[in-house]
Amino acid sequence: MTSLSNSNPQWGVSYRLIASEKWKAKSAAMGRDVTEALVEYARPKPGMKVLDLASGTGEPAISLAARVGSEGHVTALDLSSELLEIATERAHQRGLTNFSTQQADAHQLPFSDQSFDLVTSRFGVMFFQDCEKALREVHRVLKPGARACFLVWGPFEQPYWSSMMGVVVKHVGGPAIVPGGPDPFKFAQPGTLSSVLQKAGFSNVEEQTKSLPWTWPGTAEEVWQQAQAVATPFLPLLQRVPVEKREGVDHEVITAIQQYADGDSIKFGAVVALVSGM
């Protein structure tokens, strides 16, 4: 097991790529219910032209492509060309011919005004450096009356985070997230993302909080390894653990995760917010 006692992940795209390759099947399984919730919320229709932001390895873009049909098209956009290569391969394996990728920055979208019928993003908008600027770009490329739909994390105080990063915080103190750094919980407070959407020019803004399945199809040791590998905003926290405490922290985290074990799976559940604007 890769644990605090022997891991030293590098913050960056290359490490994300390695972690994504290693855990892509089980990570996809864990995120399936969340992906489906966003797709249902977005209400894609056959023939739609869709843009998915911060797509990474391809969801929900691939699921959306299956819904819009051969007359529609989905563009998966991300900063990382390497992650988009994984997305392209996954779409190819599904036999999707209405799917393409675009390496680009959400703050400067390389598309004409009024190009898309729908824009989506799953767990991505929280990491935009200037969220209002990026959402103004989203507003620009949407057709009149079209929607932008986002899914973001709810509070840190929920099983998936508390059983792992919460245990680490208890041992080392200080903030779980570096102030001013990438923050998965930037829009956890109800109304915060809605406010930014309104400032960016969106109308008919809606927001709802949902509790969804968030199930790891494997062991507690595996999900702890995966979390350390992919949760890059927490790397400064993990690196604060003293060498002499690492084994004990690992043991306590595994014990905390096992509270949610059910057969061969870990059933955390996830609290998320679904937010949209027109």
- Which amino acid, 266? I
The position carrying tokens 């969801």 is 59
| Per-residue pLDDT, 2 | 38
Read off the pLDDT of residues 218-262 as tens digits, 9 standing for 90 and up. Answer: 999 999 999 988 888 998 999 999 999 999 999 999 999 999 999
pLDDT digits (tens, 9 = 90+) for 37-94: 999 999 999 999 999 999 988 999 999 999 999 999 999 999 999 889 989 999 999 9
How confident is residue 22, by pLDDT bands cut at 50, 70 and 90?
confident
0.85 exceeded by pTM:
yes
Instruction: Tell me the C-alpha distance between 17 and 126, whole Å.
Output: 20
Q: Give burial (CB, 10 Å; 0-12/13-18/19+) of 69.
A: middle
Reported in sequence order, the residue ranges of the chain that DSSP labels E, i.e. its strands, are 49-53, 73-78, 99-103, 116-122, 142-153, 206-212, 215-216, 261-262, 265-267, 270-277
Please state the rounded mean pLDDT for residues 270-274: 98
Q: Which pLDDT value is given to residue 191?
A: 97
Taken in order 28, 29, 32, 33, is the CA torsion positive or negative? Answer: negative
Amino acid at 101: T
On whether the 13-277 domain is CATH 3.40.50.150, my answer is yes
pLDDT for 5 equals 34
C-alpha dist (Å) from residue 278 to 60, 96, 145, 214, 218: 19, 28, 6, 29, 40
The pair of three-digit structure tokens given for residue 94, joined into one six-digit string: 């599904």
Per-residue pLDDT, 20: 56
Note whether 273 and 206 are within 8 A (CB).
no
Task: List C-alpha distances in Å: 77 to 17, 63, 85, 124, 180.
Answer: 16, 15, 11, 11, 25
Distance CA 152, CA 173 (A): 26
Per-residue pLDDT, 138: 98
Region of poorest pLDDT, from 16-30, 107-121, 262-276: 16-30
Q: In this predicted model, which residue has the larger pLDDT, 265 or 174?
A: 265
CA–CA gap between residue 225 and residue 246 (Å, rounded):
14
**Residue written as token pair 């991300």:** 78
CA nearest to 154, candidates 162, 146, 145, 142: 162
Q: Residue 163 has which token pair? A: 């059983």
| pLDDT value at residue 7 | 35
Please enumerate in sequence order all residues whose Cβ is within 8 A of that of 110, keeping only pairs 6 or more positions apart, or say none. Answer: 102, 104
- Mean pLDDT, the chain, whole residue set: 92
- For the chain, give the number of residues: 278
Buried b or exposed e, range 199-226, using 16+ CB within 10 angstroms: ebebeebebeeeebebbbbbbbbbbbbb
**Residue 21: is its pLDDT beyond 70?**
no
Per-residue pLDDT tens digits for 159-213: 999 999 999 999 999 899 988 889 999 999 999 999 999 999 999 999 999 999 9
Backbone angles phi, psi at 61, to 5 degrees: -55, -45
- Quick check: 16 pLDDT over 70? no
* Structure token pair of residue 7: 């891991």
